[in-house]
Chain A
Amino acid sequence: MNITLSVNGETVTADVLPRTHLVDFLREQLGLTGSHLGCEHGVCGACTVRLDGDIVRGCLVLAVQADGCVVETIEGLSDTGEIADLQAAFIARNALQCGFCTPAMLIAAQDLLRHGGVPTREEIREHLSGNYCRCTGYQAIVDAVEQTARQRHDAVESTAGTREAAR
C-alpha cells in the first residue's frame, strides 16, 4: 500500500505491506534506527515515537495508520534542538548506560515536560513507567528530567520577570 506522511519534517511516500509496523517501517525502510525494538508487544516502550504530537508505541501502530500523519522520531527531535537541554541533562547525570531505551525515554520525558510546570519525582516516575530501563534503576533518569523541568520553569519565570520589569 502507498502511504504519504511527514517524517521529521520531510514528506515521505512509500510502499508498505499492510502488516508492517510503524517502527519497522521507520527502521528498515527509512533507516531511522534510533527507534528501537525491545518487546514488539507494547510493553517496554523502546519504540516510542511521536505521531501527530502524541507519543505512541511504534510496535502497536501500523505504518498504514500513519498515512497522512506527522511522525517525529529521536532523529528529528535531535535535529530540531527541541530536546537539546534534556539530552544534555541525561549526559550530565549519566541517565543512560547502554542507551537502548534512551531515545524513547527522552521522547516520553519530553511528552511530560511539554505540559509545563515542574512535575514531582513521583509524577515523573509515573509518567515514565511505560518505558523499561534495565541499566540505570531509573533514579538518574528522574533526576535528569526533574532538573530539565526546573531549568525550563526558571527560564520561563525569568522571561516573565523581564517582561514584568520592562512594563
Chain B
Amino acid sequence: MSLSPTDLPNSYIGRSVPRPNLARLTQGRGLYVSDLSLPRMVHVAFLRSPYAHAEITRIDTTAARAMPGVVRIVTGAELAEFCTPWVGVLAHLKGLKSAPQHPMAIERVRWQGEPIIAVLAASRAQAEDAAERIEIDFSELPPVVDVMAALDPSQPVIHESLGDNLAFERRLDAGEVDAAFARSDVVVEKTFTFGRHTGVTLEARSIVADWNPGEQRLTVHLGTQAPHMMQNIIALHLGLEEPQVRILCQDVGGSFGIKVHVYADDMAVAALSRMLGRPVKYVGDRLESFVADIHARDHVVHAKIGVSSDGRIQAFEIDDLTGIGPYSVYPRTSAVEANQVVNLIGGPYTCPTYRARTRVVFQNKAGMSQYRGVGHPIATSVTEGLVDLAAMRIGMDPVEIRRRNLVADDAYPCASASGLKFEALSHHASLNKLLSVMDYPALRAEQAALRARGIHRGIGFASFIEITNPGPAFYGVGGARISAQDGAAIRLDATGAVICQTSITEQGQGSGAIIAQVVATAMGVPIDKVRVILGDTDNTPYGGGTWASRGAGIGGEAAWQAGRALRDNVLKLAGTILQALPETLDIAQGSVIDAADGRERLTLAELARIAYFRPDTLPPDFQSELMATRHYVPRQYPFAFTNGIQASYLEVDTDTGFVRLLRHWVVEDCGTIINPQLVDEQIRGGVVQGLGAALFEHCQYDSQGQMINANMADYLVPMAGEMPDIEVAHVVSPTLESALGAKGAGEAGTAGAAACVSNAVNDALAPFGVEITEIPLTPELILRALGRA
C-alpha cells in the first residue's frame, strides 16, 4: 500500500502552515544580495553597448582612470584572460548552434546593453561617473531585429562562423496530417503573435563575488535558483576546482526563471574579483535590467486546426518562429521554449495527428531564455485560441468542444501526439469543477443582457497541461551539469531539535516552509522544532535547486525520505534505550510513543541527551546515527504532468480599447497539496504574470535594435488596481511515483492566463467579427482590430 502522509497523525501535509521566514521580511530584516557589504569591497558599473550591432574601433580610458574613487578599469579583452568563453548548446537539442560568448564584448557588440568595460570604484556612483568619461568609438553595423527577417539571405549574419542566423530547427510529424485536414469539415488557420516580455524581478540581479587569495577560494553571494549549477560553471570558466567556489544564496528579491541563467555581467564580476583579489559588488539598476536580463516569448506561430462538424479535433499543425538574441543563453540554452511549444501544442486533447516545425533564430536583441511557464503560455494560447475559433466556426459552445476532445479522465496512462507521457490527469473533473465555481450559465445570461445594452463582456477558457518535476530529460541528457536529483540531510540535535539541509532553494515560493512541513510530518515532531537550511553549496546536499516546478515534488520527496530514514534510526535508538522492539514504537509531537496506545515513552530531547552525552549507558555494540541523508529523482516518468483549466470574465471598452478584468478562475491539479495557501498563492502570482503578458508587458524595439521602453514607467507591469480577485480550486491526482505524490504548481497560473484572456476578448468582440491573435492586447491593438484606431 502506498503511504498516505495526510493520514498520519499530526500531519502537516495539507495544512496552510505560515512560512517561518516571513516575520523578518515584514520587519525589513531580510538579507538580499543588494544589502550586502564586505570589507575592501569595490563596486562595479558596466559601460554597456549603446548599439545593437557595431564594431568597437577605439577605447580610451585615460580620463576615466583619473576620476575620484576609481580602482580599476577593465576591458573585455583584459577580462578574457580570467574567464573562458561559453557556448549555450545541449547535445539532445540536435543541431542547436551558438557562438562563444565572453563576459564582456571584445571587438564587436551584438546587442544594446552588452557589457563592454567594467569600471571598479569605491562606490557605484563613482564607478558610473567614471564610466561616463570613457571614450569609445563604434562603427555601426546593420542589426538583425525582426524575427521574420532573420533568415533572409539579404540580412547580416550575426556570427560569421555559424554561417547563418538559424540557431535551431525541429520538426515533428505524427499521424496522417494532410488526410486529417482533408476530412475536416472546418479548418481554421491563424497567425499568433507573442510579444517579448521579461521578468522584472523587483530586486534586480545582484552579485557579490569575493576571491580570497589566502584561501584560494571564491565565495559568490548570488540570488540564484541553482547554486550548484553556478558553482560548476563559475569554477569551469575561471579555471578553478569546484570546491574552490562557494555559492551563497540568502534572500532573493524575485526570480521566476530570470535568476537561473548564466549572465555575462555575473561572470564578469566573478572574474573581476579573481583579478583584483577583493570583493566586487554589482547590483543591476532597472535601466540595465531591461536590456541585460533574459527576455522571453517573442514567438510568431502560424497555426492550423481541423475539426469535424460534430466538434471532434482532427489535426493540429504549427509553424513556430522565435528570436533569441545573439547567443543561445548558457547553459540551459534558448531552444527549450521553442521545443516546449512543439511538445505541448494540443496537449490536453485526444488528437494523435499533429505536425510541427519550430525555428529559432539569432537577432541583435537581448537574450531570450526560460522564464516562468517556458513555452506553456504560447502552446496554450495557440491551442486554446484555435479550439475557440473552431468552435465559433461550427457554432458550438467553447465548453462543449472541450468536453468532446479533452482526454478522458480514465484514459491514463497515455501519451500525446508529440510523445509526452501522462501518468494521471483530470481534465474533465477540472472542467466540471470550474463550471460549478464560476456559474457559467449565469455569466452567459449576464453577458447577453449587457450586450443588448452595448456593454461587451467576454468569457474565455483555457485548458492546459504543465510540465513539472523534470528528471534529467531537460538538461542532464544534453550534457549540462545541472542536477536532476535533489537531496536532504536531516539531523536530530542534542536538544531534540531537527535541522534539515536541502538542495532546493527559496525565492519566495515557500520552499523552506514546505520542507519543514514534510520533515516535521515524516519525523513526527512539531514544526517549530524544524529548521531548514538552503542556498549554500558548502552546507547543503548536491542538487538542482528550484526551477521548472520541481522544488516540492523532488526536493520535498527527498526530505520525506530522509525524514523517514532518520525516524527509523531514532526508533532503533529508542528501542535500545527502552528495551522495546522499534516497530512497537512511533514518534508523535516530538516524543517516542507506544504505537499501540499512544502513551509517551521518551522525549526526543531525552533520547538525544542519552545519544550525545551518555552513550556509555547504551550497549557497547550500538552506535546511534542521528543524521540521515536521502536523494530523490523521478525515474518512471521523465516529467510529472499536471493539468488545469482557467477562465476569464472581462469587459472590453470598444471606444477606448481598454480591457477590464472582472473575474478569473483557476482549477488545477498538482497532485498532493503540501500547503494549500502556498499553492494557491503560486497560482495567483503565476496568473498575474500571465495577465501582464496578455495585456501590458512588451519589450518594444525599434528598427535599429534599441529597446525603446526599457524603464519601469514605459514597460507596464500589473499593478494592484487593475488586477482581479482570482478564485482557485483543485482536483487532486497524486503522482504514484513518490510517497508524497506532489507535483509542481509554480507555473500553472502563467501557463493558461493569457490564453483565456485572449479568448475572452475575442468572445466579447464576437459581435464585431473581430478575432485577435496577438498579445499584449493593448488598447491600440484592440481599436485597430475594431477599425477604430
By a beta-carbon cutoff of 8 Å, the part of chain A in contact with chain B is: 17, 19, 27, 32-41, 43-44, 46, 73-75, 78, 87, 90-92, 94, 96-103, 106, 121-122, 124-126, 128-142
Contact B25 A96 (CB under 8 A): yes
Contact A99 B713 (CB under 8 A): no
Out of B22, B200, B251, B684, which one reaches A137, CB within 8 Å?
Answer: B684
Q: List 17 A-B contacts (CB under 8 A).
A: A36-B34, A37-B283, A39-B711, A78-B26, A87-B26, A97-B254, A97-B507, A97-B509, A97-B681, A98-B252, A98-B253, A100-B254, A106-B26, A129-B722, A134-B685, A137-B749, A138-B723
Seed contacts A40-B286, A90-B22, A129-B720; 11 additional CB < 8 Å A-B pairs: A36-B34, A87-B26, A98-B508, A126-B721, A128-B719, A129-B719, A130-B719, A134-B199, A134-B717, A138-B723, A139-B723
Chain A residues near B253: list those with CB within 8 A: 36, 98-100
Q: Assuming A92-B18, A128-B720, A139-B725, is B26 touching A102 (CB within 8 A)?
A: yes
Chain A residues near B677: list those with CB within 8 A: 94
Out of A96, A103, A106, A125, which one reaches B720, CB within 8 Å?
Answer: A125
Mark each residue of chain B from 19 to 38: 1 if its CB lies under 8 Å from any CB of chain A, else 0.
Answer: 10111011111111011000
Q: How far apart sit A135 and B683, CA to CA, in the bound complex (Å)?
A: 10
Q: Can you list the 5 inter-chain pairs with the closest CB atoms, starting with the nearest?
A: A34-B28, A99-B25, A97-B508, A98-B508, A100-B253
Chain A residues near B411: list those with CB within 8 A: none
What distance in Å separates the Cβ of B111 from its nearest Cβ neighbour in chain A?
22
Q: How far apart sit A135 and B286, CA to CA, in the bound complex (Å)?
A: 17
Contact A74 B28 (CB under 8 A): yes
Q: How far apart sit A27 and B35, CA to CA, in the bound complex (Å)?
A: 8
Contact B18 A91 (CB under 8 A): yes
What distance in Å separates the Cβ of A36 from its nearest Cβ neighbour in chain B?
7
Q: How far apart sit A129 and B201, CA to CA, in the bound complex (Å)?
A: 17
What distance in Å separates the Cβ of A56 from its nearest Cβ neighbour in chain B?
17
Contact B202 A44 (CB under 8 A): yes
Chain B minimum-CB-distance residue to A19: B125
* A-facing residues in B566-596 (Cβ within 8 Å): none
Contact B27 A43 (CB under 8 A): no
Contact B685 A41 (CB under 8 A): no
Chain B residues near A99: list those with CB within 8 A: 21-22, 25-26, 30, 251, 253, 508
Q: How far apart sit A142 and B555, CA to CA, in the bound complex (Å)?
A: 31
Contact B719 A100 (CB under 8 A): no
Q: Decide if B107 is an interface residue (CB 8 Å cutoff).
A: no
Out of A78, A125, A128, A140, which one reaches B27, CB within 8 Å?
Answer: A78
Q: Decide if B256 is an interface residue (CB 8 Å cutoff).
A: yes
Out of B30, B684, B721, which one reaches A100, CB within 8 Å?
Answer: B30
Q: Assuming A38-B203, A100-B32, is B712 touching A94 (CB within 8 A)?
A: no
What distance in Å separates the Cβ of B165 from its nearest Cβ neighbour in chain A?
32
Q: How far apart sit A142 and B720, CA to CA, in the bound complex (Å)?
A: 8
Q: Assuming A100-B254, A102-B26, is B689 touching A134 (CB within 8 A)?
A: yes
* A-facing residues in B688-734 (Cβ within 8 Å): 688-689, 711-713, 717-723, 725-726
Q: Assuming A90-B22, A91-B23, is B508 touching A132 (CB within 8 A)?
A: no
Chain B residues near A46: list those with CB within 8 A: 202
Q: How far apart sit A75 and B27, CA to CA, in the bound complex (Å)?
A: 6
Chain A residues near B678: list those with CB within 8 A: 94
Contact A94 B681 (CB under 8 A): yes
Q: Decide if B510 is an interface residue (CB 8 Å cutoff).
A: yes
Contact A135 B254 (CB under 8 A): yes
The SS class assigned to the B binding surface is loop
Q: Assuming A97-B510, A98-B507, A137-B687, is B286 touching A41 (CB within 8 A)?
A: yes
Q: How far apart sit A37 and B206, CA to CA, in the bound complex (Å)?
A: 12
Chain B residues near A102: list those with CB within 8 A: 25-26
What distance in Å separates the Cβ of B553 from its nearest Cβ neighbour in chain A?
19
Contact A138 B720 (CB under 8 A): yes
Out of A17, A103, A140, which one reaches B28, CB within 8 Å?
Answer: A103
Q: How many A-B residue pairs have CB under 8 A?
A: 175
Out of A35, A94, A101, A129, which one reaches B202, CB within 8 Å?
Answer: A101
By a beta-carbon cutoff of 8 Å, the part of chain B in contact with chain A is: 16, 18-19, 21-23, 25-32, 34-35, 125, 199-204, 251-256, 283, 285-286, 507-510, 677-678, 681, 684-689, 711-713, 717-723, 725-726, 749
Chain B residues near A43: list those with CB within 8 A: 711-713
Q: Assuming A19-B125, A91-B23, is B721 touching A125 (CB within 8 A)?
A: yes
Contact A44 B712 (CB under 8 A): yes
What distance in Å separates the Cβ of A41 from its nearest Cβ neighbour in chain B?
6
What distance in Å separates the Cβ of A39 from its nearest Cβ neighbour in chain B?
4
Contact B22 A132 (CB under 8 A): no
Chain A residues near B685: list those with CB within 8 A: 97, 134-137
Chain A residues near B722: list those with CB within 8 A: 129
Chain A residues near B720: list those with CB within 8 A: 124-126, 128-129, 131, 133, 138, 141-142
Out of B19, B286, B719, B749, which one reaches A94, CB within 8 Å?
Answer: B19
Out of A41, A131, A135, which one reaches B713, CB within 8 Å?
Answer: A41
Contact A98 B28 (CB under 8 A): no
What distance in Å separates the Cβ of A80 from its nearest Cβ neighbour in chain B?
12
Q: How far apart sit A115 and B720, CA to CA, in the bound complex (Å)?
A: 20
Chain B residues near A94: list those with CB within 8 A: 16, 18-19, 22, 510, 677-678, 681
Out of B27, B199, B510, which one reaches A74, CB within 8 Å?
Answer: B27
Contact A136 B202 (CB under 8 A): no
What distance in Å separates the Cβ of A92 from its nearest Cβ neighbour in chain B?
6
Q: How far apart sit A34 and B251, CA to CA, in the bound complex (Å)?
A: 12
Chain A residues near B30: list those with CB within 8 A: 34, 99-100
What distance in Å separates the Cβ of B560 from its nearest Cβ neighbour in chain A?
22
What distance in Å separates the Cβ of A83 from its nearest Cβ neighbour in chain B?
8
Out of A41, A90, A138, which one reaches B688, CB within 8 Å?
Answer: A138
Out of B27, B204, B510, B717, which one reaches A132, CB within 8 Å?
Answer: B717
Chain A minimum-CB-distance residue to B289: A39
Chain A residues near B23: list those with CB within 8 A: 87, 91
Q: How far apart sit A100 and B201, CA to CA, in the bound complex (Å)?
A: 9
Out of B22, B254, B285, which one reaches A134, CB within 8 Å?
Answer: B254
Chain B minimum-CB-distance residue to A141: B720
Chain A residues near B717: list those with CB within 8 A: 132, 134
Q: How far apart sit A101 and B254, CA to CA, in the bound complex (Å)?
A: 10
What distance in Å separates the Cβ of B440 from its nearest Cβ neighbour in chain A?
22
Q: How far apart sit A34 and B31, CA to CA, in the bound complex (Å)?
A: 9
Contact B27 A98 (CB under 8 A): no
Q: How far apart sit A111 and B331, CA to CA, in the bound complex (Å)?
A: 45
What distance in Å separates the Cβ of A131 from its nearest Cβ neighbour in chain B?
7
Chain B minimum-CB-distance residue to A130: B719
Chain B residues near A34: list those with CB within 8 A: 27-30
Q: With a 10 A CB-CB cut-off, give which of B508, B687, B725 has the most chain A CB atoms.
A: B508
Contact B713 A33 (CB under 8 A): no
Contact B726 A139 (CB under 8 A): yes
Contact A91 B719 (CB under 8 A): no
Chain A residues near B689: list those with CB within 8 A: 134
What distance in Å separates the Cβ of A81 from its nearest Cβ neighbour in chain B?
11
Chain B residues near A140: list those with CB within 8 A: 681, 684
Q: How far apart sit A78 and B27, CA to CA, in the bound complex (Å)?
A: 6
Chain A residues near B35: list those with CB within 8 A: 27, 33
Contact A139 B684 (CB under 8 A): yes
Q: How far apart sit A114 and B306, CA to CA, in the bound complex (Å)?
A: 59
What distance in Å separates the Cβ of A63 from its nearest Cβ neighbour in chain B?
13
What distance in Å separates the Cβ of A22 from its nearest Cβ neighbour in chain B?
15
Chain B residues near A133: list those with CB within 8 A: 202, 720
What distance in Å separates the Cβ of B297 from its nearest Cβ neighbour in chain A?
17
Contact B28 A73 (CB under 8 A): yes
Q: How far apart sit A100 and B29, CA to CA, in the bound complex (Å)?
A: 10
Q: How far apart sit A33 and B286, CA to CA, in the bound complex (Å)?
A: 18
Chain A residues near B16: list those with CB within 8 A: 94
Q: How far apart sit A46 and B202, CA to CA, in the bound complex (Å)?
A: 8
Chain B minimum-CB-distance residue to A38: B202
What distance in Å separates the Cβ of B516 from its nearest Cβ neighbour in chain A?
14
Q: How far apart sit A43 and B710, CA to CA, in the bound complex (Å)?
A: 13
Contact B719 A36 (CB under 8 A): no
Q: Assuming A41-B286, A73-B28, is B254 touching A98 (CB within 8 A)?
A: yes
Chain A residues near B203: list those with CB within 8 A: 36, 38, 98, 100
